[in-house]
Structure 1
Amino acid sequence: MSRAIEVILRDEIFTELEIEYPDDRNTNLLEQGMDSAGFLKLVVLMESKFNIAVPDEDLLFENFSTAGLIIHYLTEKTMS
């Protein structure tokens, strides 16, 4: 499942964010050009593409600061 999540994240979400998907899943997205507006757009796109709700208490950049953390979060949310 995480492979399918990564494909959607890379090919759809990062494309819409106009941010290059990092070669290393542990690269901090700030280094890829993510800013606060991009972070909010990332959350909205994740909610839309994966039909999930990100609760307010999860809305911390450190929860989504790398592609690896995003994939882990989405895997947990879509499996429950």
Structure 2
Amino acid sequence: MSKSIEFILRDEIFAELDIKYPDDHDTPLLDQGIDSAGFIKLIVSMESKFNISIPDEDLLFEKFSTAGLILNYLTEKTI
């Protein structure tokens, strides 16, 4: 059985980046301590863990500013 997207995001990616996974999926990641370097690491880690390529036109912080937006994006990309 494969791990859920949220499990990988929370327990692997956010944990590796030392970013607190928010209880509320609408909490801005800026409030969780992510910065520009963390954002790049987040993108690279998502590409690696989910075996996806995120196109340049999607590399906008606004598209990944909350855990909810990230989960939606990853769900769309991995299905």
Q: Same fold (TM over 0.5)?
A: yes
Following superposition, the deviation at residue 36 of structure 1 comes to: 0.2
Unaligned runs of 5+ in 1: none
Unaligned runs of 5+ in 2: none
Aligned mates of 1:58, 1:35 — CA distance in 2: 18
* Structure 2 residue matching 1:19: 3-state secondary structure: coil
Q: 1:19 maps to what in 2?
A: 19
Q: 2:8 maps to what in 1?
A: 8
Q: 1:40 maps to what in 2?
A: 40
The count of corresponding residues between Structure 1 and Structure 2 is 77
Q: Please report the RMSD computed on the Cα atoms of aligned residues, expressed in angstroms.
A: 1.0
Matched to 1:4, the amino acid is S
Q: 1:58 maps to what in 2?
A: 58
Following superposition, the deviation at residue 54 of structure 1 comes to: 0.3
Q: Could you state the TM-score of these two structures normalised by the residue count of structure 2?
A: 0.95
- Name segments (4+ residues, structure 1) moved above 6 Å: none
Identity, % of aligned pairs? 74
Aligned mates of 1:7, 1:27 — CA distance in 2: 18
